[in-house]
Structure 1
Amino acid sequence: MLDHSVIFPTLAFLFAAGFCSGAMNSLAGGGSFVSVPAMIATGMPAVLANTSSTIALWPGTIASALIYPNSFRSICGVGKWPMLIVTLVGGLIGSLLLLHTPSSSFTIMLPWLLLLATLALAFGRRIAIAIEGRFHGSPLVLVAQFILGIYGGYFGGAASVMMLAVWCLFGETDIKALQGPRSLLITAANTVAIIIFLFARAVLWPQTLAMLAGSLIGGIGGAQLGRVTPSHLVRIVTLGITIAITCAFFIKTYWRH
């Protein structure tokens, strides 16, 4: 018999975490910085927390992709279908790798994944602009996209920012025009990963649905807030949250008393 004095506060906490995650994703990205740690905080194993978080935030990625229904195009001189295929294959491999990673190992890796995502959020676009167009060649673009697909299926934090940064390295200059392909390819990697997670039954539904509901409402609220909030303030708050959570996980994982 469920202890309602425990389960209801837990679900309320995850709903609130989902709200924050959805708002962050809508404003600047980085929602997994809140969703995954929140799942872990409820006692969920790290791998299961990541799979459940991916499912909980997936409707938000679908909503973003639907904003750009006709913007799927070639990228860096590579056709849209090869880019989609390598992203799907990468997402498939990443999701399978995650499911075969022991939770104890993923717990050790998580601070480093968060650090990578934090650096991408903080410096990705700046680095891309600084060395824009230095690399060329469609095979290299496909290899890079394949690796991004693996990352998206495995963890995915700030993957959309990484995609924009990598595409800029290969000569894309119109960031606004890349928003559609980015949203669609991130959604593709997440979708194939979620299919694998569902078949593997790697999801705790009460917790996931609570976070999913919160993320949908948070995404709507974040979109409205983004219209009136200065972009630099959104960036500062987002980076503050991501840096704080990353530092907390390094301390928790590696600090020895």
Structure 2
Amino acid sequence: MPSILTLVFLLIGGIAGGLLSSVASMASLASYPVLLAVGIPPVYANVTNDAALIWTGIGSTISSLKELKGHWKQVAFYGTFTVIGSLVGCHLLLAFPSAVFEKVVPFFIAGSGIMVIVSAKHHSLEPHKRPLWQELLSIAALLFMGVYTGYFGAAAGVIVIVLLTYVTDEKFIVVNAIKNVICGLANLVALIVFAFTSHIYWIQAIPLAIGMFIGGYFGMDILRVVPAKYVRIFIAVLAFLQAGYFFYKAYML
């Protein structure tokens, strides 16, 4: 049984992760190292992190009901394809190691960080009806995003933000709210799969999840008062930092 100090440490780490998730889609920058610090092996820390991440999505969804009003059909549409992709990604992870994919991930994340900044120009355009080929491409991208979330997951929320920016004409705070819901659904699918195929440290996951719920809930309040351009810069900086970490891990160790 973990000590009280360990549980408090996990709670604080969860709050930090929840804030980072709802604001910058980078919960694992805080939550994953916390799980490693309390002695959970890396593979199981990743699975336990998924178990707690769901509560970030729940907290941010409750907090962003105002932004989600009138957008639930979009959430259901995007979420359906992301969940299907996540199921595929989970099964791929169980069947094949992710070592080769890890070589590509740093560049994938860095590219997403750049696109977060560049995609801001998209919303300076007037809303318009997209041709059929763009809609089909969007569906394919959502499926791929789900596969990525289930298979690897690093900075998945950032990539979803970029994708939704291009497939919708919504404000950034609405895009972020939709992202929180569909990423939460993808994480839920991953948890269900891994609960039967791996080992989750539930005692450590509970305080982490409580913290993530708190952080996810209050993170939306931050987004309402901070200009979107500064949030985009913050997300991009964190994406570059995470890309650097995975580059070091894949090529330097």
Which residue does the alignment assign to 1:93?
88
Q: Measured at CA, do residues 225 and 73 of structure 1 come closer, stay the same or move farther in structure 2, by a change above 3 Å?
A: closer
1:141 alignment partner AA: S
Which among 189, 192, 196 is matched to residue 195 of structure 1?
192
User: Relative to structure 2, which stretch is displaced further, 64-73 or 210-219?
Assistant: 64-73
CA distance in 1, matches of 2:60, 2:121: 24
Offset of residue 147 of structure 1: 0.4
Is 1:26 matched up with 2:22? Answer: yes
Which among 23, 27, 43 is matched to residue 47 of structure 1?
43
Post-superposition CA distance 1:28-78 (Å, at most 9, x none): 321122222332344433332222112112112123334226412359xxx
| Secondary structure in structure 1 of the residue aligned to 2:214 | helix
Which residue does the alignment assign to 2:118?
126
CA distance in 2, matches of 1:51, 1:41: 15
TM-score, length of structure 1 as denominator length: 0.73
1:143 alignment partner AA: A
Offset of residue 218 of structure 1: 2.5
Offset of residue 20 of structure 1: 1.1
Post-superposition CA distance 1:154-204 (Å, at most 9, x none): 33344344234334445x333455455434332322222221122224311
The residue correspondences of 1:132-211 to structure 2 (distance < 5 A) are 136-170=133-167, 172-176=168-172, 178-179=175-176, 181-211=178-208
How big is the alpha-carbon RMSD for the aligned residues of Structure 1 and Structure 2?
Answer: 3.6
- Unaligned stretches of 5+ residues in structure 2: none
CA distance in 2, matches of 1:8, 1:253: 36
Offset of residue 23 of structure 1: 1.2
1:91 alignment partner AA: S
- Mapped contact 2:117–2:236 kept (Cα < 8 A): no
Q: Give the count of matched residue pairs.
A: 243
Which residue does the alignment assign to 1:64?
60
CA distance in 2, matches of 1:205, 1:231: 36
Q: Measured at CA, do residues 221 and 168 of structure 1 come closer, stay the same or move farther in structure 2, by a change above 3 Å?
A: closer
User: Relative to structure 2, which stretch is displaced further, 231-240 or 39-48?
Assistant: 231-240
Higher helix share: 2
CA distance in 2, matches of 1:241, 1:121: 8
Q: Measured at CA, do residues 118 and 53 of structure 1 come closer, stay the same or move farther in structure 2, by a change above 3 Å?
A: farther
- Mapped contact 1:15–1:211 kept (Cα < 8 A): yes
CA distance in 1, matches of 2:140, 2:101: 23
Q: Measured at CA, do residues 42 and 65 of structure 1 come closer, stay the same or move farther in structure 2, by a change above 3 Å?
A: same
- Unaligned stretches of 5+ residues in structure 1: none
Structure possessing the higher relative contact order (Cα contacts under 8 Å, 6 or more residues apart): 2
Which among 101, 108, 131 is matched to residue 116 of structure 1?
108
Offset of residue 125 of structure 1: 4.9
- Mapped contact 1:114–1:157 kept (Cα < 8 A): no
TM-score, length of structure 2 as denominator length: 0.74
CA distance in 2, matches of 1:165, 1:129: 12
- Mapped contact 1:72–1:180 kept (Cα < 8 A): no
The residue correspondences of 1:205-224 to structure 2 (distance < 5 A) are 205-224=202-221
Q: Measured at CA, do residues 62 and 251 of structure 1 come closer, stay the same or move farther in structure 2, by a change above 3 Å?
A: same
